[in-house]
Every structure is written in structure tokens, then in C-alpha cells.
Amino acid sequence: MRQPALIVSIALLPSVAWASQLQVVTTTTTLASITRSVGGQHVEVESICAGDQDPHFIHARPSYMRVVADADLFVRIGLELEKAWEVPLLRGSRNSAAQYGATGHLDVSAGIAKLGVPSGQVDRSMGDIHLLGNPHYWLDPYNGRLIARSIVARLVKLRPSSASDFRNNLKMFERTIDARMFGDELVSRFGGEKLWQQEIAGDLDAFLTGQGATAELSGWRALTPQLSKTPVITFHRSWTYLAARFRIPVVERLEPKPGLHPSPSHLVRVITAIHQHHVRALILEPYYDRKVADFVAGKTHVPVVVLPNAPGPGTGLDGYVAMLDNAIKSIVSHAPRS
């Protein structure tokens, strides 16, 4: 006699669990990965762009609009990265909660120290430049922390009852990033905040020397001396922030100007630069024109390294930290042997 009631209870369980989760839509898989890390069980996250897709060139499919229509929170990179498709996507979603200025709309670029902000007169002859700065800032792990903080602040606003969970998840996420960056031992001794303060101020090496802790440095930051001796060519200006953090010399780009296809005369300049600077690798994302890189590699014998700059399906990388780890270790594997 009690069986029907049991069946009804089981049938209701999934819908109750679903209803308690915030529906979050992110423009990129990087944002999706970070949101999952800090949102935990309280969020259901979907990314519009896949990890191996160019976020500059997404089509605002009606199916994407339906996804945004149900979103409690829409998270984007900003700095005009998604400019071409976010407007029709948001307009088509008819979701007032996700529109610009709404609580359910988050641009995580606020608070980021931007690189590549154009100065002086700007026009189309300069290529597809971004007026507000280079938007590929998530490739600096420090900015990954800032992104996570922005997302948590907004999640807390949307779901105050889960605030402590969000903040605990943020601590764990930051601890993961910090340990990958500086090594577990150093983070345990000084704390991630202190180490990042020194790093941002450019004083980390002196600080560690003063503390007699240089030998304890491990993780990505310990690879900086090797990375700084690994000159690279990139296809687009997408690795600027990673290069700045780890002092990787980017001596030239395959694009003559942002968004412009390489011309033969520019490729001649690139080949000359490769010889002059003893370039170690040609780096490009999966969606850039491999033929051009292969052509240059054929002339110079410099290896082509295909590096996803976002995790997720199609990349074999299961999260933001794995993506950074893959990028840094791939580049350092081409460092000269000293």
C-alpha cells in the first residue's frame, strides 16, 4: 500500500534538487570551470563557447538564446571579446534578469589590470583591436583568482543563504591556484595572499631570498627562469597576460595586426625574427590556421605548439587549472637546455 507514495517521492527528488540550483550561463568554458569550482552544488553551469572554439566568432544560435532565457546569472569576459554575439544573444533570450546592468549579468573584467589598452587615435587600420584592452586576461592565474572573487560576490548576492559555501569554495579554489603557482610548502608557510602581493609588486624573488625560502619555491612560478629564456611566436595576441606573468618573450605574432590574416611580407618578417631571437616555439590555439604556422615551421624548423586557451570538450583539459598547467608546461618543455 505504501509503494505509490514512495514512487511519488522519488519522482520529485530530482526536480527539487534542480530547482535549488542557480542556473548560470557563461560565455566561455574558463568562466564555466571557475563558476563550478566556487559555486559547487548550488550551481548548474553551461558555457556558450566550447573550449576549442574561437570566442571572437560565435554565432548567436536560437538554441543558445533558450539557454540564456533560463539563466539566473550570465557571466562574460567583457572587454568586447563577446561583443559580436552577446548583444543578439541577450536580446533574443528575452531574459530581463540577464540584461546589461541587471543583478544576473556579470562582466568579470572589472578590477582586472588591463594590458594592451590602445592610446592615441584609434581606427580600423589598426586591425581588430579592443578599445578597453586585451581581453585574454584569464591566462594570468592571478586574474583567475580575481574572476573567482567577482563570481562569488555575485553568487552571494543572488543566493545569500549559500554564502558560506561559496566563500569556502573560493578559499579552496584560491588555495589550489596558489599551490600550483608557488608550491604547497611556500603557501603553507606564508599564505597565498602574501606571496601574490610580493609577486604583483615584483619583489617575490627578493622576499624569498630575504626569508631564506628560495629553495621552497616550486610550481609554475619556479619555472619562470626557464620560461624567460623561451622566446615564442604566437598567432594572436591571446597569450599576452600569461607571457607577462611568467616573463615569456613574445617576439612576434603571425597576425600582422589583431584579427588580420598573415600576409606573405609579414611572414618574411616573422621568419627573420625567429632567426634573430632564436625562437623556440610557434604557439597557436586549435582554431587558428595551422597551415600558416606549418609553413613558417617548415622554413625555420621551429615546432608548432597547439595550445587551447580554455578547458572543456574538444581540448582534453578538464578545468581552468589543468588548462593553465598544460600551457605553462608545454611552453617550458621547449626551453633551451642549460
Partner 1 sequence: MIVGIQSAHGETAASFLGDGEADELAGAVLVDSTSQNPLWTARWFNGFSLSRTLAVNLGLSGVTGPNRTDRTAQTHLGGFDVFLKWQPTDAYRGWPFLSLQAEAMIRRYEIVDSSAALDDWGTYVQGLWGFTQGWIVAVRYGYADGTGPSTLEFDQRHRASANLTYFPTEFAKLRLQYNFDSADNLARQFAHAVWLQFEFALGSHAAHTF
Minimum distance, C-beta of residue 3 to partner 1, in the bound complex (Å): 38
**In which residue are the cell numbers 509503494 written?**
3
Applying CB under 8 A, among 175, 286, 325, 326 the residue interacting with partner 1 is 286
Q: Which are the contacts of 63, defined by CB distance < 8 A and separation ≥ 6?
A: none
- Does residue 121 belong to the site contacting partner 1 (CB under 8 A)? no
| Exposure b/e, 180-196, CB count within 10 A at least 16 = b | bbbbeebbeebebeebb
Contact string 44-83 vs partner 1 (x = CB under 8 A):
------x-xxx-xx-x-xxxxxx-------------x--x
| Closest CB to partner 1 among residues 126, 172 | 126
Minimum distance, C-beta of residue 150 to partner 1, in the bound complex (Å): 23
| Closest CB to partner 1 among residues 80, 184 | 80
Q: Which are the contacts of 162, defined by CB distance < 8 A and separation ≥ 6?
A: 42, 155, 156
Applying CB under 8 A, among 249, 314, 322, 326 the residue interacting with partner 1 is 314
Whole-angstrom CA distances from 285 to 159, 249, 251, 293, 299 are 36, 18, 17, 11, 20
How far apart CA 214 and CA 216 sit, in angstroms, is 5
Q: Which are the contacts of 74, defined by CB distance < 8 A and separation ≥ 6?
A: 24, 25, 26, 68, 90, 95, 98, 104, 105, 106
Cell numbers describing residue 6: 514512495
Q: Are 241 and 140 in contact (CB under 8 A)?
A: yes
- Does residue 200 belong to the site contacting partner 1 (CB under 8 A)? no
- Does residue 287 belong to the site contacting partner 1 (CB under 8 A)? yes
| Selection from 230, 222, 228, 246 nearest residue 336 by Cα | 230
| Closest CB to partner 1 among residues 70, 128 | 128
Cell numbers describing residue 283: 604557439
| Closest CB to partner 1 among residues 185, 289 | 289
Minimum distance, C-beta of residue 314 to partner 1, in the bound complex (Å): 6
Applying CB under 8 A, among 17, 122, 206, 268 the residue interacting with partner 1 is 122
Applying CB under 8 A, among 12, 113, 131, 268 the residue interacting with partner 1 is 131
How far apart CA 171 and CA 140 sit, in angstroms, is 18
- Does residue 136 belong to the site contacting partner 1 (CB under 8 A)? no
| Selection from 107, 94, 137 nearest residue 324 by Cα | 137
Minimum distance, C-beta of residue 130 to partner 1, in the bound complex (Å): 8
Whole-angstrom CA distances from 68 to 37, 174, 309, 315 are 21, 28, 24, 24
Selected range binding partner 1 among 6-14, 117-125, 197-205, 214-222, rule: CB under 8 A = 117-125
| Closest CB to partner 1 among residues 231, 262 | 262
How far apart CA 48 and CA 287 sit, in angstroms, is 16
- How many residues in the shown chain lie near partner 1 by CB under 8 A? 29
| Closest CB to partner 1 among residues 76, 180 | 76
Minimum distance, C-beta of residue 23 to partner 1, in the bound complex (Å): 17
- Does residue 265 belong to the site contacting partner 1 (CB under 8 A)? no
Q: Are 22 and 43 in contact (CB under 8 A)?
A: yes
Residues that bind partner 1 (CB under 8 A): 50, 52-54, 56-57, 59, 61-66, 80, 83-84, 122-124, 128, 131, 259, 261, 286-289, 313-314
